[in-house]
Amino acid sequence: MTVTAVRSKVNLTPQLEIAGGRQLSGEVAVSGAKNSALVLMAACLLSRDTIRLRNVPPLTDIAAMADMLSSLGVTVQASDEAIELSGDRINSAAAPYELVNSLRASFFCIGPLLARMGMARVPLPGGCQIGTRPVVEHVKGLKAMGAQVTIEHGVVTAVVPGRGHRLKGGRIHLDCPSVGATETLMMAAALADGETVIDNAAQEPEVVDLAGLLIAMGGRVRGAGTPTITIVGVDRLHGADYAVIPDRIEAGTFLLAAAITRSKLRITPVIPEHLGAVITKLEEAGCRIEHDGIGVNITARQINAVDLRTQPFPGFPTDLQAPFMSLLATAKGTSVITENIFENRLQHVAELQRMGAAIRMQGNTAFVEGVARLSGAPVQGTDLRASAAMVLAGLAAEGITTVRGLEYLDRGYAALEHKLNAAGAQISRVEAA
Ligand code: UD1
C-alpha cells in the first residue's frame, strides 16, 4: 500500500449523506430512553441481586456505561431482549477517569457507590460541547446526607464516616432542579438511614422512571414527578425486572422529521404526557397531532413561526431545541428561540446558516426567519442533538447534505438512518476522506 493510500484510509470519517426533499410516511419505532437507561443501569450498584432491564437502546453511550460498571466489578450480560446487571461482586469504588471522561452520565455512580460501599472515588466529568455542566448540587446533597467530600486533582472522593458507613437521610433543597443531581441523590437516599426529602427536584420522566425501578427493587420513594421527592431508606434492595420508558427525545425528533418534510407519520410507542410542551408547540406551528394511547399520528403541511424557551420539565426540553430550530428555519415568519438551560447550546446555528437558514443571534436567543427552502451542504454536528438537527435539516433541504459528527449521533439515536429510510427518507452512511 502506498503512503497516500494509507493516509487516506486513516483519515476516513463516517458521515451521513442525505438526499433531501422526500416526504415520509408510515410508522417509525421509538427505542427505550437513553437518559433513563443510563441511570437505571447505575442503580444496579445498589443491589447484590440481578437487575434485568428491558427496552435498553443499542447505543454507544449504553456500551460505555456497561464498561464503566464492569470496571467496578458488575457482571453485565446483554441479549436482544434485555441487559442483566449483577452487582454481587463489586470490587472497586473508584471509577476510572477515561470512562467518566467519555461518558458524563457515569458520574451517577457516585450516589449508589457511596450508599452501598460507604465510599466512592469518581473523577469530575468536566464540561462538554454544550456547557460547563457543574456537579455542585450532587456534591452538596451528598454532604447533607453525612458524606465527607473532598475534591482534589480533579477527583471527587466521598466517604461516609462512622460505623456502618451508612448515609443519613436529610432535607436537601436543590438550587436548580438538576436531573443528574436529583437522580444521584435518590439513589444515595434509597439505602440511607431514615427519610430524605429533595426539594426543587427535577420532574423529568426519567426521574419518575428511576423511582419506578427503585420501587420495583423494594425501595420507598414518593413524589417523583413533582418538585418534592421523599425517599425512606431501606436496609437492602433486591433484584428486579424492569422496562425502560420510550425515548421522548427520539420520539420528538421523529415528530420534527415529519413536520420538516410536511408529511404524515405515525410514531410509536409514545407517552404523550412526556412530550406535552413539544406537541403544544408543533400544534401552534400548524401540525395536527392525535394520540391513541400507544402512539401519535402527526400531519404537517404549512409550518408557521412559533417562539420557544427551553425550561426544565414540563417546559420545552433543551434536548429538542436544536432539532426544533431546523423546523422553524423552514417556517412562515420569524421565530424567537431562547436557550435557558445550557450556556453554549446554539452552535448548530452556524451550521444551519451554511444550509441557507436566516438566523440572527443575540446572547442565548436566536431569531429564526423562515426561508422557503434550505439547501444541502456539508455540515458538522457539534453535539448529539445538534447532529440530529442537521439530519432533520438535510431531510428538507434541496440536494445533498452530508453530516459529520456521527460519534455524537450514535450516542443517542439507535439506527436513525434505517428508521427514517424505512419511512421514505434517503440517507446513506458512507466513509469519506
Ligand atoms: C440531563 C440529561 C440531558 C439534558 C439535561 C437537561 C442525562 C444523562 N442527561 O443532563 O440530556 O439536556 O438533563 O434536561 O440525563 N446545574 C448547576 N449545578 C449543578 C447541576 C446542574 O448549575 O450542580 C445546571 C446545569 O449547568 C444546567 C442545568 O442545571 O444549566 C441542568 O442540568 P442538569 O439537569 O443537571 O443536566 P444533566 O443531568 O447533566
3 state SS for 196-257:
EEEECCCCCHHHHHHHHHHHHCCCEEECECECEEEEECCCCECCEEEECCECHHHHHHHHHH
Question: Cβ–Cβ contacts within 10 Å for residue 426, how many?
Answer: 16
Helix (H) or strand (E) segment spanning residue 427:
strand 427-432
pLDDT (0 to 100) of residue 11: 75
The answer to whether residue 19 sits within a structural domain is yes
The answer to whether residue 1 sits within a structural domain is no
pLDDT (0 to 100) of residue 4: 52
Cis omega before residue 272 (within 30°)? no
Q: Which of 222, 243, 264 is the last residue of a domain?
A: 243
First to last CA, the chain: 17
Sheet (strand 82-86) strand order: 75-78, 82-86, 50-54, 240-243
Average pLDDT over residues 380-396: 96
CB within 8 Å of 117: residues ≥ 6 apart: 90, 93, 165
Whether this model's pTM surpasses 0.75: yes
Residues 292-327: pLDDT tens digits? Answer: 989 999 999 999 999 999 999 999 999 999 999 999
Q: How far apart are CA 316 and CA 277, in angstroms?
A: 5
- Specify the 3-state DSSP secondary structure of 152: strand
Name the residue among 117, 141, 151 with its Cα closest to residue 199: 141
Shared-domain flag, residues 275 and 226: no
Average pLDDT over residues 242-248: 98
Shared-domain flag, residues 46 and 134: yes
pLDDT (0 to 100) of residue 163: 77
The answer to whether residue 3 sits within a structural domain is no
Shared-domain flag, residues 209 and 270: no
Q: Which of 201, 223, 243 is the last residue of a domain?
A: 243
Selecting among 44, 128, 176, 287, the annotated active-site residue is: 128
Name the residue among 134, 226, 221 with its Cα closest to residue 185: 221
Shared-domain flag, residues 257 and 237: no
Q: How far apart are CA 308 and CA 327, in angstroms?
A: 12
**pLDDT higher at 398 or 4:** 398
Instruction: Indicate the DSSP class of residue 397.
Output: S
pLDDT category at 8 given cuts 50, 70, 90 is low
Average pLDDT over residues 408-418: 94
Contact 300, 286 (CB under 8 A): yes
Q: How far apart are CA 256 and CA 323, in angstroms?
A: 7
Q: At 13, give phi and psi (nearest 5°).
A: -125, 135
Percent of the chain with pLDDT over 70: 97
Q: At 89, give phi and psi (nearest 5°).
A: -125, 50
DSSP character string of 391-422: HHHHHHSBSEEEEE-HHHHHHH-TTHHHHHHH
CB within 8 Å of 288: residues ≥ 6 apart: 298, 299, 300
Q: Which three cell numbers stand for residue 90?
A: 463489586
Residues 38-57: pLDDT tens digits? Answer: 999 999 999 999 999 999 99
**Residue 270 pLDDT > 80:** yes
From 176, 248, 342, mutation site for ligand 1 pocket: most ligand atoms within 8 A of C-beta: 176
Residues 124-135: pLDDT tens digits? Answer: 886 678 877 888
pLDDT category at 371 given cuts 50, 70, 90 is very high
pLDDT (0 to 100) of residue 395: 98
Contact 215, 242 (CB under 8 A): no
pLDDT category at 101 given cuts 50, 70, 90 is confident
**Residue 245 pLDDT > 80:** yes
pLDDT (0 to 100) of residue 133: 82
Name the residue among 257, 255, 248 with its Cα closest to residue 281: 255
Average pLDDT over residues 23-27: 98
Q: Is 287 a catalytic residue?
A: no
Shared-domain flag, residues 300 and 420: yes
Q: How far apart are CA 58 and CA 412, in angstroms?
A: 9
Determine whether the shortest distance from the Cβ of 179 to ligand 1 is under 6 A: yes
Q: Which ligand 1 atom is at minimum distance from the Cα of 177?
A: 34
Helix (H) or strand (E) segment spanning residue 158:
strand 155-159
The answer to whether residue 264 sits within a structural domain is yes
Helix (H) or strand (E) segment spanning residue 119:
strand 119-123
Q: What residue's CA is closest to ligand 1, atom 38?
A: 180
pLDDT category at 113 given cuts 50, 70, 90 is very high
pLDDT category at 433 given cuts 50, 70, 90 is confident
Shared-domain flag, residues 75 and 125: yes
Q: How far apart are CA 338 and CA 363, in angstroms?
A: 9
Average pLDDT over residues 59-66: 94
**Residue 115 pLDDT > 80:** yes
Determine whether the shortest distance from the Cβ of 105 to ligand 1 is under 6 A: yes
**Residue 354 pLDDT > 70:** yes
Parent domain of 78: 34-243
The answer to whether residue 183 sits within a structural domain is yes
Q: Which of 199, 224, 243 is the last residue of a domain?
A: 243
**Residue 104 pLDDT > 90:** no
Q: What residue's CA is closest to ligand 1, atom 33?
A: 178
Determine whether the shortest distance from the Cβ of 315 to ligand 1 is under 6 A: no
Query: 180 CA to middle of ligand 1, Å?
Result: 6
pLDDT (0 to 100) of residue 9: 55
Shared-domain flag, residues 219 and 309: no
Q: How far apart are CA 12 and CA 23, in angstroms?
A: 31
Determine whether the shortest distance from the Cβ of 310 to ligand 1 is under 6 A: no
pLDDT (0 to 100) of residue 2: 54
Q: How far apart are CA 311 and CA 358, in angstroms?
A: 24
**Residue 10 pLDDT > 80:** no
- Specify the 3-state DSSP secondary structure of 381: coil
Please give the mean pLDDT across all residues of the chain: 95
**pLDDT higher at 104 or 115:** 115
Q: How far apart are CA 163 and CA 177, in angstroms?
A: 32
Distances (CA, A) of 129 to 132, 317, 361, 413: 8, 17, 18, 18
**pLDDT higher at 7 or 202:** 202
